[in-house]
Amino acid sequence: MTSSPFLNDIRRFMRTRGYSLRTEKTYVYWIRFFIRYQKRRHPKEMGAAEVVQFLGFLANDRHVSVNTQKLALNALAFLYNAYLELPLGDLGFQHANKPAKLPVVISSQEVGRILAEMNNRDRLIFSLLFGSGLRISECLRLRIKDFDFSRRALTHSGKGNKDRVTILSLSLQTENEAAMASAIDIQKIDNTQGVGPSLPDALGRKYPNAFRQPAWMFLFPSSG
């Protein structure tokens, strides 16, 4: 069902309306799970009763947390209310009462031992996550222009595409500068082929040659 035309159309629907990639993946996961649970019946053939049945299955058989059940409900509400335009109405059910598990917090020494086992690139990524409090998606979107070593500040695009400033550990300056030099080398090679890093929003149209500027290069460019 991964290549289902129905699910692919839902993905396109979400992308044209600006949903984040994480939300898209989460919603598609729960919609797929719901369809499989209901023996692959098309959602148009079902409604509120089947949704409540599925949510009850998650609570009683899968013993999911309240937050997980709410995620599933949000995905199915989107499916029916926004995509199919078949509103579910008031479902009248009780959320699961299993409390969410508290995260396990590891010590600084344990973090150090984990980092020691990583290659240079992954060690820098996880050091930035740990030292600057970034999400993995925020870290992988970092550009060279986001680093201000003089102010010990790191600017990143957070939730809702809002720029946020956080602390930048100077102990990572050498590693960051090495990663920048490597990224710029990749950029120069790409530029010879007329390509470069993607630019946010309409900047690519306003400044068609900005992809050649080192400031816009990603610190961790992908290979694809």
In contact, 53 and 84? CB cutoff 8 Å: no
Segment 39-75, tens digit of pLDDT = 999 999 999 999 999 998 998 888 888 889 999 999 9
Report the alpha-carbon distance of residue 23 to residue 172 in Å, rounded.
32
In contact, 88 and 80? CB cutoff 8 Å: yes
- Tokens for 17, please give them: 């309306």
Segment 93-148, tens digit of pLDDT = 666 665 556 677 778 888 889 989 999 999 999 999 988 989 998 999 999 999 99
In contact, 53 and 94? CB cutoff 8 Å: no
Question: What pLDDT does residue 74 have?
Answer: 93
Segment 162-173, tens digit of pLDDT = 778 999 988 999
Domain boundaries, the chain: 5-83, 108-216
Question: What pLDDT does residue 29 have?
Answer: 95
Residue bearing the bigger pLDDT, 199 or 187: 187
Residue range 24-36: average pLDDT? 95
Residue 23 has pLDDT above 50, yes or no: yes
Cα torsion 33, 36, 41, 46 to 10°: value is: -40
Question: What pLDDT does residue 146 have?
Answer: 94
The superfamily CATH assigns to domain 5-83 is Tyrosine recombinase, N-terminal domain (1.10.150.130)
In which order are the strands placed within the sheet that holds 153-157?
A: 147-148, 153-157, 163-167
Question: What pLDDT does residue 128 have?
Answer: 93
The pTM assigned to this predicted structure is 0.55
Residue 28 has pLDDT above 90, yes or no: yes
In contact, 143 and 215? CB cutoff 8 Å: yes
Residue 199 class from Cβ within 10 Å (0-12 exposed, 13-18 middle, 19+ buried)? Answer: middle
Cα-based distances in Å from 146 to 4, 124, 128, 139, 200: 39, 15, 13, 11, 14
In the chain the beta strands, taken as DSSP E runs, fall at: 147-148, 153-157, 163-167
Question: What pLDDT does residue 1 have?
Answer: 47
- Tokens for 36, please give them: 């499989």
Residue type, 66: V
